[in-house]
Chains A and B, each alone.
Chain A
Amino acid sequence: MADSKQLRDPVSRRRFLAVGGGSTALAAFLAACGDGGGTTTTMTDSAGSGGAGETAQFGKGDVGILNYALTLEYLETAFYADVVKSGLFKGAELETIRRFGREEAEHVEALTAAVKQLGGKPAPEPKAEFPLKSAKAVLELAGTVENLGAAAYLGQAPNIKSPEVLASALAIHSVEGRHAAVLNTLLGESITPDGAFAKPADVKTVLKSVEPFLVG
């Protein structure tokens, strides 16, 4: 069916892969990472995450996973704040961006509190710069970031040990999914680029995608 095919056009896998390059503090970690494994095609195949050790760079166990998520949420929050300041958006789109930014900031707060609660040290806010050339380019980047964020949470959910931490991560994960669907809609792309089953992203893929925006 032509409609269905069109609706399912992959939104940003290519964009995820197109970014990357550049050297940052994450380079050593990226080099140390193994392959993340395959993708999920049936329900009980393994997820495409590379296992519980993937986030060791960010801390042990659940603390590492939370700090990994915190790092991504910091980036999302900084991105939306910069977009609001850029003056590229007005009206309803600006309101959406503001709201998403506020929600990402709430995720930062919740994750920071959760890391502390587990006796861990919250990851520092990364320094980042985002290209803000045009409204269209910004929306595309936002779409990439949100789809990637949702996939990142999905990749880590099965590695989380504490049911409370898992409950929190799931509560955030689906909100990232909502954000992604809205941005895909604004971009005229499919709300479900992976089809009926969202695909996870492993840590290596995610960090490689955000690497170009990290400075210092």
Chain B
Amino acid sequence: MSAEHAEQQQTRSEVLAKGALAVGSIYGATMVGPYVRRALAASGGGDVGILNFALTLEYLEAKFYAEAKSRAKATGELKKLVDLLAEDEQQHVDALTATIKQLGGKPVMEPKFKFDYSGTAGFLKLAQTFEDTGVSAYNGAGPMIKSKDVLAAAGGIVQVEARHAAAIRLQNKEEPAPAAFDSPLKEKQVLKAVEPFIV
């Protein structure tokens, strides 16, 4: 590890220790749902913990779009978009799983999901929530990542999530980039969005 990298890690953990980042509470126990708490407990925290948290979100998205291929009643351009998103999210699942193993960690198991929606409009509404939440979850976790390589990889994923979010928002006739800054989400907010779909 370069001296500069060591310095970077130190600076980041210092800030986390001070609680300067709201997302530092991602490991706080109070509001963490049981599934995610188990996942994080098994992962041992650190980059592996963050990657397992991301993996859980990607599992959710991958499953959601895989199901949507038959459930969303999508046609034309939207059908192509659903196929693309399903493929991208599955690739994220595969890459995160491989990376966790590479770091000597244990990938969390895929939770069981249940998505309550009907029709194309119901699908699009949920998709927007998931994509926007995904962007903000990665943005929140980014500054906590210690390894430069993991950060670069997470950056490559979050940009794709942002692109998905914009495309889904266009389908919903909503502003694709509603603000100049995609704020990081606190753990509480991420879990609030995700937990209702884990059974």
Across the interface, do B91 and A195 meet the contact criterion of CB distance under 8 Å? Answer: yes
B-chain residues with CB within 8 Å of residue A173 when the two chains form the complex:
155, 158-159, 162
A200 to B184, CA, bound (A): 21
A-chain residues with CB within 8 Å of residue B91 when the two chains form the complex:
195-197
Across the interface, do B80 and A198 meet the contact criterion of CB distance under 8 Å? Answer: no
Across the interface, do B177 and A154 meet the contact criterion of CB distance under 8 Å? Answer: no
Q: A167-B21, A170-B143, A171-B184 are in contact. Are A199 and B95 (CB under 8 A)?
A: no
Q: A3-B83, A45-B149, A177-B162 are in contact. Are A171 and B181 (CB under 8 A)?
A: yes
Among A161, A181, A184, max chain B CB count under 10 A is at A181
A99 to B139, CA, bound (A): 22
Across the interface, do B142 and A192 meet the contact criterion of CB distance under 8 Å? Answer: no
8 A Cβ contacts from A141-170 to B: 150, 153-154, 157-159, 161-164, 166-168, 170
Q: DSSP majority for the A interface? A: helix
Across the interface, do A197 and B142 meet the contact criterion of CB distance under 8 Å? Answer: no
A117 within 8 A of B: no
8 A Cβ contacts from A14-68 to B: 40, 42-47, 49, 52
Across the interface, do A177 and B98 meet the contact criterion of CB distance under 8 Å? Answer: no
A107 to B180, CA, bound (A): 7
Among A43, A99, A173, A197, max chain B CB count under 10 A is at A43
Across the interface, do B153 and A178 meet the contact criterion of CB distance under 8 Å? Answer: no
Q: A43-B95, A174-B159 are in contact. Are A181 and B167 (CB under 8 A)?
A: yes
Q: DSSP majority for the B interface? A: helix
B: number of interface residues (CB 8 Å): 60
CB-contact partner of A40 in B88, B92, B96, B156, under 8 A: B156
Q: A43-B149, A199-B156 are in contact. Are A170 and B184 (CB under 8 A)?
A: yes
Q: A175-B180, A185-B170 are in contact. Are A42 and B161 (CB under 8 A)?
A: no
> Within the complex, what minimum Cβ distance (angstroms) separates A112 from chain B?
14
> Within the complex, what minimum Cβ distance (angstroms) separates B3 from chain A?
11
B-chain residues with CB within 8 Å of residue A181 when the two chains form the complex:
162-164, 166-167, 176
B-chain residues with CB within 8 Å of residue A182 when the two chains form the complex:
166, 170, 176-177
B-chain residues with CB within 8 Å of residue A52 when the two chains form the complex:
4
B175 within 8 A of A: yes
> 6 closest pairs, A vs B, by CB?
A177-B162, A47-B152, A106-B180, A196-B91, A198-B159, A174-B162
Residues of A within 8 A of B (CB): 1, 3-4, 7, 40, 42-47, 49, 52, 99-100, 102-104, 106-107, 110, 150, 153-154, 157-159, 161-164, 166-168, 170-175, 177-182, 184-185, 190-192, 194-200
Residues of B within 8 A of A (CB): 4, 7-8, 11-12, 15-16, 20-21, 80-81, 83-84, 87-89, 91-92, 95-96, 98-99, 102-103, 135, 138-139, 142-144, 147-153, 155-167, 170, 175-177, 179-184
24 A–B contact pairs at CB < 8 A?
A: A3-B83, A7-B84, A44-B103, A44-B150, A47-B152, A99-B175, A107-B180, A158-B149, A161-B4, A163-B20, A166-B142, A167-B184, A170-B138, A170-B142, A171-B184, A173-B155, A174-B161, A178-B182, A179-B177, A181-B162, A195-B88, A198-B155, A198-B157, A198-B160
